[in-house]
Amino acid sequence: MDSAVVRDTSYALVHAPSLLVHMGTTQTVEREANPDSEYLRNITSHLRSYESCVAYPPNQTYIGNMTPVELAAIERPWFERPVENARRYSAAGQIMPEDEFYAWMKIVDSFNLVLLEDSFTSDVAKRMAESSPIWQDGDAARLGAGVPAEEISKHLDGGKASAKAEPLYLGDRLVGCVKAAHERDRALTAHVMTENLAVKASGVVALRHLIARGSVSAADVDYIIECSEEACGDMNQRGGGNFAKAVGEMAGCVNATGSDVRGFCAAPAHSMVMAASLVQAGVYRNVVVLAGGATAKLGMNGRDHAKKGMPLLEDVLGAFAILVSANDGVSPVIRTDAVGRHKIGSGSSPQAVMTSIVLDPLERVGLRISDVQRYSAEMQNPEITESAGAGDVPKSNMKMIAALAVKKGEIERTAIDSFVGEHGLVGFAPTQGHIPSGVPSIGFLRDEIMAGRMERAQIIGKGSLFLGRMTNLFDGVSFLLEANPGKPTAPDGAEDRLRKIMADALREVAKSLTDDEGGASECQIRQGRS
């Protein structure tokens, strides 16, 4: 069986400060428990402008306008060092403003749940039609003309969320709402439908950017795996799905089917292994692994950031789409013989986890830890996590990997810091749960491998299964991304010689049939060729 390859990637962020205030779990729980808290009273003073969000160095790194190496060279705090002439768009994707994202939520809405105010709709539709690289025929009709503000107010109680609708704000301006999909179904409340539509819309943005890059047409996508942390369904099957086909429909993937994979933060790594296996087995030729963003995670550490006088850096939804295809002889291959997994019996200590998902798969294929040029594990932006007391997660992971290298005698203990710097990557992904888990680096690593600047990298996804209160187990999956050795070919003209031998044999068969039976039919000769 031939290898599967990572043929292309796309990455998108959505600046969503108003969704942070009204949909982020930290804020909604605070509003229920302590609506007059100092945090909520002052929250707007900690929100960033769209321009500040675009110029934030980790965000430019996520969409590919900067590399992680370039980011590491910028002194922190990064939020005080905006990128000059920062661009909204990159070759891989974009950072979308919140008003356009509301329009996308309406465009992907299949059940008329999203209502947008008419003057707002007119303004944003004109801008998107003129400038958006992912705008398609039919989007204007799906967006529609909007509705009068009075109609939106009918579904709300004084502008506040009710059981019937969830308001959509731009700052203090009410521009729309999302209606509940059922009067009594708690899995279809307005709040849940807003979460789900945000996942779908951001996933569509990432997939459309991937297709716009030209590596695959929408019609040639065979299978879609969606691996976000949300789960759509109704009260009888709360996680029934299917985000994958819902997203694919809005990107024109008419020949694709698909399904959702859930595994907390490790789901993208699981999904990449599944995609590679499906392609390598010949079941599908082009599989897209994608995920939309989680509104619940917006402002997750907001209280800590506000206490330290920082902007609320968790103000973006993250999305990505990765194309896994049959071997093209050029793109980096996914080594399915070097998949690491945290088994049920592996144990949950940090050393046990890293041994099972990092060391074991490398030793299985005869590689040392130092044979991997770069490791990408839990790429959370340390500027977000350190201020909340969680430390620098990528660096902590790399120190554990370096400790394994010391234990195996590959490096000296004094070389741990240099190993971390040479083989690790600085974190740059938003804390969206599934988004940071290894996959944000794939675009950068693919470029480095394609340019010949490195040979292999290990992508690591880890997950906290105990969050679901079903088990205390940990989770982890890894895979190697490696330079493509090229498709195997017959050496020294052997293929041409084989063709000549077969042609001579066919002529002998035809001559024999002619001599014995008075002539061979064209059908018989064709059968001989096959």
Has residue 491 got a pLDDT over 90? Answer: no
Averaged pLDDT for residues 431-435:
93
Per-residue burial over 317-343, b if 16 or more Cβ lie within 10 Å, else e, is bbbbbbbbbbbeeebbbbbbebbbbbe
Q: Which residue carries 């819309």 as its tokens?
A: 201
Among the listed residues 393, 455, 453, 447, the one whose alpha carbon sits nearest the alpha carbon of residue 420: 393
Q: Which residue carries 């020949």 as its tokens?
A: 255
* Direct distance between the N- and C-terminal alpha carbons of the chain, in angstroms, rounded to an integer: 22
Contact of 454 with 445, CB cutoff 8 Å: yes
Residue 482, beta-bridge partner list:
333, 456
Averaged pLDDT for residues 440-451:
98
Averaged pLDDT for residues 242-269:
97
Beta-carbon contacts of residue 207 (< 8 Å; ≥ 6 apart): 10, 224, 247, 248, 250, 251, 253, 288, 290, 321
> What gap in Å lies between CA 164 and CA 157, rounded to an integer?
9
Percent with pLDDT over 90 in the chain: 87
What single DSSP character describes residue 75?
Answer: P
Q: Which residue carries 């600046």 as its tokens?
A: 15
Quote the pLDDT of residue 527: 36
- Both tokens assigned to 296: 């619940």
Has residue 494 got a pLDDT over 80? Answer: no
Quote the pLDDT of residue 496: 47
Q: Count CB neighbours of 69 within 10 A.
A: 13
Question: pLDDT per residue over 347-397, tens digit each?
Answer: 988 899 999 999 999 999 999 999 999 999 999 999 999 999 999 999 999
Global pTM reads: 0.91
CATH architecture of 333-482: 3-Layer(aba) Sandwich (3.40)
Contact of 205 with 12, CB cutoff 8 Å: yes
Residue 279, beta-bridge partner list:
none
510: pLDDT confidence band, cut at 50, 70 and 90? Answer: low
Beta-carbon contacts of residue 117 (< 8 Å; ≥ 6 apart): 146, 147, 148, 149, 152, 174, 175, 176
Has residue 251 got a pLDDT over 60? Answer: yes
With the CA atoms of 423, 90, 384 and 391 taken in that order, what torsion angle do they form, in degrees rounded to the nearest 10?
-10
